[in-house]
């Protein structure tokens, strides 16, 4: 009897061992697939560092303080880089660290306000002719269903600022979600439980085929900004609509504005107010109208309406079917740019955008003296030396720090100014080309 039991046990254990052999083989294959996918997409992901330059008026040293950080993804071989607006907000000096180095980045296009409401920002990277990029045209939203696997790649807490991004894996929890934080509104967003922490913002979300399907931007955080397993990403179809416009217009594209206001507590997409002067008013929409269909799709709540109509660029025409009283009618509404108050003002001129003389100084009771001339600046080219006493800049006498500060505030990088110094009893005048504070004066430790 014991023999039989023993044999059965051995068979069972053997069967279990075989089961495990098969299982580990499959898991090894799964891991190999994941590793291959990660290695193919991570070269396109970069860590964004947003520095503000602070001039210390006592010494002339410029300190680059890290004002913000996030992630982003390269989307074209020419170096277009996709990230969130709130990462580059108050855009000072932007550095993007990719796997092969740190590249300077500037906001793409002429204006700097970005698409604030929807949190999509495009940067231009400088420094290389061809960049490894993720194709923004390939991601398919229809493939993503609850349970789909997704990879979030980015720079959580700044731990990838050397250009080697960190990958987290999770599943798609849901689609079509709305979330908002600090003035940024995400509509029709993807919700995922891949760990999204501060610093992951702007970073890409990839599906199992390695296609870009979203840009992570918002996470629900607990106290002290710990991730909770709920993260929101802007879906790629929304990004595509805006990217085409941004590239065509070479810059800023606003989210479309219709001016219709709804009440979520009343059944259906019931209009309670139409903003005066808005496209909605122009088309004759008024209180008590109910929106039945948008672009052919039935809408039964304000949230559904926002998910379709709230995420389109200005200038788009939407077709609405509206019931007024007892009649249905069709309306064509052209979305306008939102009024300035909604988008926010352009950030004030950033510190450090002023011209820098190219040397550090020290201020004593007897005057201001050159302490150290920085390599590669206009001051070095002009032959200024340590211990020169600063007398005048650009025709203004600058023998006190207060005068120096007020003079510097009027000057821009690249300007040529005449600097008058005293050296060994002689007065010397030199033409100095002012340099960019953040780029040239602030990089030494």
What is the rounded distance in angstroms from the CA atom of residue 238 to the CA atom of residue 72?
17
134 lies in the site for other proteins, by CB under 8 A: no
Least distance in angstroms from the C-beta of 239 to other proteins: 21
What is the rounded distance in angstroms from the CA atom of residue 93 to the CA atom of residue 358?
18
Least distance in angstroms from the C-beta of 243 to other proteins: 26
Please say whether the beta carbons of 37 and 210 come within 8 A.
yes
141 lies in the site for other proteins, by CB under 8 A: no
Q: Which is nearer to other proteins, 20 or 58 (by Cβ)?
A: 20
Which region among 53-61, 115-123, 190-198, 424-432 touches other proteins (by CB under 8 A)?
A: 190-198
Q: Which is nearer to other proteins, 116 or 177 (by Cβ)?
A: 177
100 lies in the site for other proteins, by CB under 8 A: no
216 lies in the site for other proteins, by CB under 8 A: no
Alpha-carbon dihedral of residues 269, 275, 281, 286, nearest 10 degrees? Answer: 50
Alpha-carbon dihedral of residues 371, 375, 381, 384, nearest 10 degrees? Answer: 10
193 lies in the site for other proteins, by CB under 8 A: yes
Q: Which of 303, 351, 380, 428 binds other proteins (CB under 8 A)?
A: 303
Q: Which is nearer to other proteins, 169 or 411 (by Cβ)?
A: 169
Q: Which is nearer to other proteins, 28 or 429 (by Cβ)?
A: 28
Count of residues near other proteins by CB under 8 A = 70
CA distances from 385 to 107, 361, 408 (A): 36, 11, 20
Q: Which is nearer to other proteins, 100 or 429 (by Cβ)?
A: 100
Please say whether the beta carbons of 384 and 438 come within 8 A.
no
57 lies in the site for other proteins, by CB under 8 A: no
167 lies in the site for other proteins, by CB under 8 A: yes
Please say whether the beta carbons of 357 and 379 come within 8 A.
yes
Q: Give the three-state DSSP class for 11.
A: helix
Which region among 61-69, 189-197, 327-335, 361-369 touches other proteins (by CB under 8 A)?
A: 189-197
Q: Which is nearer to other proteins, 16 or 282 (by Cβ)?
A: 16
Burial class of residue 355 (count of CB atoms within 10 Å of its CB; 0-12, 13-18, 19+): buried
Residue that the structure tokens 């550095």 belong to: 95
What is the rounded distance in angstroms from the CA atom of residue 76 to the CA atom of residue 247?
11
Burial class of residue 285 (count of CB atoms within 10 Å of its CB; 0-12, 13-18, 19+): buried
183 lies in the site for other proteins, by CB under 8 A: no
Q: Which of 65, 128, 220, 244 binds other proteins (CB under 8 A)?
A: 220
Q: Which is nearer to other proteins, 117 or 354 (by Cβ)?
A: 117
Least distance in angstroms from the C-beta of 337 to other proteins: 25
What is the rounded distance in angstroms from the CA atom of residue 109 to the CA atom of residue 254?
13
What is the rounded distance in angstroms from the CA atom of residue 5 to the CA atom of residue 7?
5
Strand 389-393, strand 416-423: pairing: antiparallel
Tell which residue, 199, 203, 140, 193, has the closest CA to residue 169: 193
Encode burial over 187-197: b for 16+ CB neighbours within 10 A, e otherwise: bbbbbbbbbbb
Q: Which of 5, 332, 426, 445 binds other proteins (CB under 8 A)?
A: 445
What is the rounded distance in angstroms from the CA atom of residue 73 to the CA atom of residue 208?
17
Which region among 169-177, 377-385, 397-405, 421-429 touches other proteins (by CB under 8 A)?
A: 169-177
What is the contact mask toward other proteins in residues 237 to 266, using x (rule: CB under 8 A)?
Answer: ---------------------------xx-
What is the contact mask toward other proteins in residues 342 to 371, using x (rule: CB under 8 A)?
Answer: ------------------------------
Q: Which residues lie near other proteins (CB under 8 A)?
A: 19-20, 22-24, 26-35, 37-39, 42, 145-149, 156-157, 159-162, 164-171, 173-174, 176-180, 191, 193-197, 208-209, 220, 222, 224-230, 264-265, 301-303, 375, 444-445
């Amino acid at each position: 009897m014991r023999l039989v039991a023993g044999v059965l046990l051995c068979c069972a254990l053997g069967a279990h061992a075989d089961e495990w052999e098969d299982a580990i083989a499959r898991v090894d294959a799964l891991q190999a697939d994941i590793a291959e996918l990660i290695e193919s997409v991570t070269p396109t992901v970069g860590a964004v560092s947003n520095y503000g330059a602070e001039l210390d008026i006592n010494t002339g040293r410029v300190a680059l303080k890290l004002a913000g950080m996030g992630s982003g993804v390269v989307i074209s071989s020419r170096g277009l880089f996709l990230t969130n607006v709130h990462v580059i907000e108050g855009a000072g000096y932007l550095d993007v660290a990719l796997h092969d180095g740190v590249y300077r980045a500037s906001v793409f296009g002429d204006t700097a306000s970005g698409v604030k409401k929807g949190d999509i920002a495009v940067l231009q990277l400088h420094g290389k002719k061809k960049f490894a990029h993720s194709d923004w045209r390939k991601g398919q939203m229809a493939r993503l269903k609850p349970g789909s696997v997704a990879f979030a790649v980015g720079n959580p807490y700044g731990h990838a600022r050397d250009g080697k991004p960190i990958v987290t894996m999770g599943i798609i929890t849901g689609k079509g979600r709305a979330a908002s934080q600090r003035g940024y509104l995400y509509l029709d967003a993807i919700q995922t439980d891949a760990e999204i922490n501060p610093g992951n913002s702007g970073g890409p979300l990839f599906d199992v085929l390695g296609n870009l399907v979203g840009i992570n931007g918002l996470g629900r955080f607990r106290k002290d900004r710990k991730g909770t397993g709920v993260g929101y990403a802007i879906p790629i179809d929304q990004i595509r609509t805006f990217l085409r416009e941004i590239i065509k217009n070479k810059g800023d594209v606003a989210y479309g504005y219709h001016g219709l206001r709804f009440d979520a507590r009343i059944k259906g997409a019931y209009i309670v107010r139409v903003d005066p002067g808005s496209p909605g008013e122009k088309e004759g929409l008024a209180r008590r109208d109910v929106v039945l269909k948008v672009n052919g799709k039935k809408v039964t709540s304000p949230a559904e309406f926002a998910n379709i109509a709230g995420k389109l660029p200005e200038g788009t025409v939407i077709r609405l079917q509206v019931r007024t009283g007892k009649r249905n009618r069709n309306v064509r509404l052209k979305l306008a740019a939102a009024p300035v108050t909604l988008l926010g003002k352009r950030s004030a001129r950033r510190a450090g955008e002023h011209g820098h003389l190219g040397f550090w100084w020290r201020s004593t009771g007897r005057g201001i003296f050159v302490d150290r001339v920085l390599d590669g600046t206009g001051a070095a080219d002009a032959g200024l030396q340590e211990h020169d006493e600063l007398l005048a800049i650009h025709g203004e006498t600058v023998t006190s720090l207060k005068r120096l500060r007020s003079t510097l505030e009027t000057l821009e990088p690249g300007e040529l100014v005449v600097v008058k110094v005293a050296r060994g009893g002689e007065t010397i005048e030199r033409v100095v080309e002012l340099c960019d504070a953040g780029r040239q004066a602030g990089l030494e430790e």
